[in-house]
Amino acid sequence: MSESAAERLLDAAIELFAELGYDGVSTGAVAKAAGMTQSMVHYYFGSKATLWEAAVERVMRRRGGSFEIRQQDLQDIDPLSRLKVIIRRFVAANAADPDLTRILIHEGISRSPRLRWLAERFMRPGYLLFNRAIQDAIDAGMVRDLPPRDVTNIIVGASTLTFSLSALLAEVYDDEDALAPDVDRLSDTLIDILLSGLAVPRSDRTG
């Protein structure tokens, strides 16, 4: 019973922190969204700061299930194929749960102890995974020698904002399908542009 109550509070907190940011959320609002009293929040988590950390931990546990990269999945493929696998799984993870990106957008506006905790505990390993995969492909002569960090930032931006800003895209394109983008199509387009470029080869141009 107690675990279920705590999980309900965490799920309510995740939704509110993703929508409103840390400063825009109170423990009373979380309790109300979960159908509980404010005292229950303090009973299980003590403070809003602890609740926020527990909510992020819950998001990351969910993320681990959709962005699980096992070494045996990658060991027998070349560096370029390895990079493609990581990109596809990352896009799928963000499509499945955009709440993490929305929380990061709120936190990334200014440097804070919360942002430092997020970066050190969760974000840095993921960024380094991409950096290493890109550098391996560079070392193998399979992609151009560009700064891995810049390439990683481009991949992360394209893989996250499409889903976290889906409501905006639906308004821009007047297309409700933008609220649930085609994950495979986005992955294919991102990989194609990243690895082949956007310009049509001169020999293939018409006119």
C-alpha of 118 from chain center: 12
Please determine, for residue 60, whether its predicted confidence score (pLDDT) is greater than 80: yes
Q: Which amino acid is residue 196, in one-letter code?
A: S
Q: What pLDDT is attached to residue 64?
A: 74
Q: What pLDDT is attached to residue 65?
A: 59
Q: Exposure pattern of 99-111 as b/e (b: 16+ CB <10 Å)?
A: bbbbbbebbeeee
Q: Which amino acid is residue 143, in one-letter code?
A: V
> Can you tell me the mean pLDDT for 39-64?
94
Q: What pLDDT is attached to residue 196?
A: 87
pLDDT (tens digit, 9 = 90+) per residue, 70-117?
666 667 789 999 999 999 989 998 888 889 999 999 999 889 999 999
Q: What pLDDT is attached to residue 1?
A: 36
Q: Note if the pTM is more than 0.85.
A: no
